[in-house]
Structure 1
Amino acid sequence: MIGTLFLCSCFKEYKGKINIDGSSTVYPLTEAVAEEYRKVDPDIRVTVGISGTGGGFKKFLRGETDISNASRPISKSELEISRQNGIEFIEIPVSYDGMAIVVSPKNTFVDYFTVDELKTMWSPESQGKINTWKQVRASWPDTPLKLYGAGTSSGTYDYFTEAINGKAKASRGDYTASEDDNVLVQGVSSDVNGMGYFGLAYYIENKNKLRLVPVKLTADAKAILPSEKTVQDGTYQPLSRPEFIYVNVKSASKPFVKDFIKFYLAHAAPLATEIGSVPLPTEVYQLSYKRFLKHTTGSMFENKSTVGVNLFKLLSDKN
């Protein structure tokens, strides 16, 4: 019929929505899981944002998100806010990450870093004082040292500073900082004098633009590169760490959130390998799922460090 008006809705009606935000390091895994889950249940809308671990927790503790990606455990101050705001959560480890220490492919003189050399570069006392490569190691050239690292809202920043400088958030401030690891990749890859750190998945994704540098625990130790094997067996220390998702307990009661978490933990291992992260042992995923089903709330890491942690033992003790 002439003049008939056809109306269509441009917006899909979803049966449920899951809002996720937080760590840029955990983002690739969670987004990969979400992408696969959308194929299984297209009627559930899953959105994954990147605000950094700290930024994600701010939203999560205001009740704005269902799940928070985190590359470190929830902090003492964040726990206080969770209690004040009445936000209960379930803490679930989902992968390991080996922190990638990288330089430009045009850098031909760096063969390895020791933990002490990384501390010389990044300690708070080095700000304004350690400005050249030669000051780090006498055999290196007298050229500017350009540093690229995680922003202060990032869990990567907290972990790296604790592992290298001995205290979370203890770092020099005169470096190029970003919560977006892609910005750091671009910075290091285009700067012959640059070095930086971020999650292994971002190195894997950009390995044609960067050079991965092995790390020695001490000057006499073997230089070790992060890989699935060295991160899982604990030899890539102290730069191996667990990564997490935090689930709001109220959200966890929704059937579609339960389905998503079950799907996440069932598929995390192969997807972690695919995107360049490091899967947890099967037993750890099983214990994590048991923790979720029991709605075990709170953090396993309250007043504890994650450096060198044995997740299987910790989860076994808590279950």
Structure 2
Amino acid sequence: MSPAVAESFRAYLVERDGDGSLRQGVRTLDAGDLPPGEVTLRVAYSGVNYKDGLASRPDGRVVRSYPMVPGIDLAGKVVESADPRFRPGDPVLVTGFELGVSHYGGYAEYARVPAQWIVPLPRGLDLREAMILGTAGFTAALALHRLEEHGLAPGQGPVLVTGATGGVGSVAVAILARRGYEVVASTGKDGAVEYLKRLGASRVIPRSEVAVQGGKPLEKQLWAAAIDAVGGDTLAHVLRTTRYGGAVAAVGLTGGSQLNTTVFPFILRGVSLLGIDSVYCPMPLRMRIWQRLAGDLRPPALDALVCREVGLDELPEAFADVLAGRVRGRILVRVA
């Protein structure tokens, strides 16, 4: 083992007992505990996503094997590499794939990952900024990219963002505004109007206006497009109110996984429903999206997206807040 890799290091470990309960907390791991992979990294930052919160629950149903180091994204520097594309000292990031689910993730001072998961840190972002964006930012940017491929452009009308104070929603508001779109943000959180307007929202509407059960198969045409992080009744309502030829990018399910709708938005208004998968997104597109996040989609004030910054010892409270919907924007995890 190279002396660049510490013999032992701190990690947040989740373990399952025989009765199904979980034990978790900061543990000391050895270099030999790292999973297989061509590249070993010294982790600087990670983030807290809803999926990470679920990994801390016995009924979360996201972790596939135990013990597990959660953290579905990370940014750091290469310390060892068996792949010629990466050299010691290279700044890189990893999001998605099996990270934090069936492969030790970002909540550890060191990580070892397959080379094909790694994105070189694009110019225009440092390691901390990359994890302010993280999986949430990547998902939001991928959604906007798909909408623009579908034909969306500034000036066509309002673009709705649901669940706008969450990680994905907050970044979506910021990058849409950066591109010059008229952004309407929907939220159920009191006191979030000023926050969303600082990110660039033109208008903020209450969740009750879009979380509508039932209704007519088609309703008043309101949105040129939408990025929906909620699912369930909200997504069904957004489809019913999207303008002719518009598109809705579905990125989440905080409001439910069932979609009760009709075919009418699709066959009478030509509305398209775009599924956004940030986990297994192909590497060429993944790298293109990260280049855009460092360029034309980079939010002008990244720190405005940060709810707070925590260390590994503070993760339990962060998980509880994410799962309870008490987080506005992103929780950044300082690992190194």
**After TM superposition, is the score higher than 0.5?**
no
Higher share in strand? 2
User: Structure 1 length as normaliser, TM-score?
Assistant: 0.31
Higher share in helix? 1
Larger radius of gyration: 1
User: Structure 2 length as normaliser, TM-score?
Assistant: 0.30
